[in-house]
Amino acid sequence: MATLTMYPADEALAPRARLGFNLYMITSIIAILLFMLLGLTMRLNEAQWISIPPTLFYELLSMHGTGMVGITSLATTAVMWYFLRKYVTLHLWVFIANYVLFLAGAVCIVLAIFVGGYGALWTFLYPLPAKGMGLWSSGASELYVFGYILIGFGSLLFYLDATAGIVRRYGGLGKAMGWQWLFGGTVDPDHPKAVIASAGVIIANSLGIIAGEVALFMTLVNLFYPDIVLNALLAKNLIYWFGHMYANATIYMGVIAVYELLPRYTGKPYVVSRPFIWAWLATALYVIVVFPHHLFMDFAQPRWVAVMGQVASWVGGFPVFVITVYGALVNLYRSHIRWTMPSMLLILAMFGWAAGVVPAIMDGTIRVNAVMHNTLWVPGHFHFYMLIGMLPMVLALMYHEIGRLGQAPVKSAADQVGFPLFFIGALIFVLAFLYGGQSGVARRMAEHWAAWTASDGVGALGASLVVLAVIYFAGRITLGLLRKPAA
């Protein structure tokens, strides 16, 4: 099977495509490192090892949250593009245009925060952006919101191009996801999993981004014309619909790397099955309606919306996660896997996703949420599946592509140090967050009580180890991707 070929010819990048791919990946790994340094600075401040002004803390928190979700989305978009282009026609100019729009939006956001002083966090919750109280101007908020709009428009442009390619090849998103085999028929085991996942992401994340763009335009109108008053509850629902979906889509785009790469290192096919198709259908629908679990504490929220969020949190999070992890374990069983950097990162990603989803589902339970949601438990769970789950998926493709250029899977002596350093540091970091959360340590606080600083210090230590590992990864990947392909 072609999927078992380590470096198939149809994945080889032409010069212009390689330039685009390298722009995405090198920008992503360097930006991830920079945003990690911002996160480390905040943890050091909370541990009282350093002292920064509260105004700067909230600027860093705004930049870290916005930047991390945005840059990981850019990186996993490159993962989706890299594999999807084998099966459908994608236009390189759209891929580059998305990058340019992202960069333009990022510049607007950086200027809004570090020049304009914007500190209302990534959620831009109405009417907070307009209430700077002398710390930031309306112009800073307008620039921040406009940057978001540019990034969202770029993502929608990419999804539109991917949709057109999928529809031309398969006749519709439903057929691309295998819906024709839901209730019968012989499932084609070679139907591309990358196509199924991509179509599911397009359906769900396009709706989320459109919701976000609506909220952003409404916010922008209010900033220019304050007399136009928005419905605060509607705005918050749209914002969290966008935010939750956008962050989750990074995992669903990133997991394509697991589907495509893991069989090459195990030497066993990873076939499509009817449960796999059902799982992706359930996920594409569930992520559209699960966002109300962020709003359980809003007394004005209609009860039926809260119930929907509760049920979706319990039921909807499992299908694609379970089928993916089960498929990976079956693929791994008796496989004589080659333990190189890409394969180790892929298995780490499965662990991070599996373990990280547990505290997330716990927080999606109303009784738990009422106590835990405003604590460090929340950054604990999303750092778990983003840092140890999603990021290794991206790193695996980066390392795999370095191996393609050298025509040999990558595993150097330095890699064997960097990998455990990253894993151990990340585990310490997220467990410190979760411990702080179950101890009642408040999140989004620039200053912590003395009783809270012990777990903060442990978290800062873990973050320091992660940063050291990512410094190495950034240098290794950047130099590796820029090398000339082996003859």
Looking up tokens 């962020």 gives: 294
Domain 2-482: state its class: mainly alpha
Q: Are 21 and 404 in contact (CB under 8 A)?
A: no
Cα end-to-end distance, the chain, whole Å: 25
> CA 199: distance to chain centroid?
17
- Furthest-apart CA pair in the chain: how many Å? 67
Please tell me the predicted confidence (pLDDT) of residue 486. Answer: 67
The three state secondary structure string of 100-137 is: HHHHHHHHHHHHHHHCCCCCCCCCCCCCHHHCCCCCCC
Give burial (CB, 10 Å; 0-12/13-18/19+) of 53. exposed
Give burial (CB, 10 Å; 0-12/13-18/19+) of 208. buried
Looking up tokens 């999603």 gives: 390
**CA torsion angle for 377, 381, 383, 384 (degrees, to 10)?**
130
The radius of gyration of the chain's CA atoms, rounded to the nearest angstrom, is 22
Could you give the 3-state DSSP secondary structure of residue 459? Answer: helix
Residues 235 and 98: their CA atoms lie apart, in Å, by 26
Omega of the bond leading into 392 within 30 degrees of 0 (cis): no
Please tell me the predicted confidence (pLDDT) of residue 3. Answer: 64
Residue 151: phi and psi, rounded to 5, are -65, -45
pLDDT in tens, 173-206: 999 999 999 898 888 888 999 999 999 999 999 9
pLDDT in tens, 358-381: 887 777 777 787 788 889 888 898
Residues 264 and 304: their CA atoms lie apart, in Å, by 46
Tokens coding 257: 């790397």
CB neighbour list of residue 194: distance below 8 Å, 6 or more residues apart: 80, 83, 84, 86, 87, 256, 259, 260
CA atoms within 13 A on the CB side of 449: 8
* CA-to-CA separations, 199 to 174, 177, 245, 275, 459, in angstroms, rounded: 8, 6, 15, 17, 38
**Of 139, 76, 54, the residue nearest 398 (C-alpha):** 76
Residue type, 101: L
Q: Are 215 and 244 in contact (CB under 8 A)?
A: no
Q: Cite the DSSP H helix spans in 290-412.
A: 303-315, 319-332, 341-363, 366-372, 377-383, 391-406
Residues 360 and 270: their CA atoms lie apart, in Å, by 28
Residues 416 and 213: their CA atoms lie apart, in Å, by 43
In eight-state DSSP terms, residue 450 is G
Residue 442: phi and psi, rounded to 5, are -70, 145
Residues 66 and 322: their CA atoms lie apart, in Å, by 29
Residues 351 and 385: their CA atoms lie apart, in Å, by 9
Please tell me the predicted confidence (pLDDT) of residue 119. Answer: 87
Residue 375: phi and psi, rounded to 5, are -115, 180
**What is the block-wise mean pLDDT of the chain (487 residues), using blocks of 10 residues?**
74 91 96 95 92 92 92 96 95 97 96 91 85 85 93 95 96 92 88 94 92 91 88 89 87 93 88 87 83 78 81 71 77 82 92 83 77 86 91 95 81 86 95 90 84 90 96 93 78
Tokens coding 102: 């992202």
**Domain coordinates in residue numbering, the chain:** 2-482
Residues 255 and 422: their CA atoms lie apart, in Å, by 20
Please tell me the predicted confidence (pLDDT) of residue 316. Answer: 66
- Say what the pTM is: 0.92
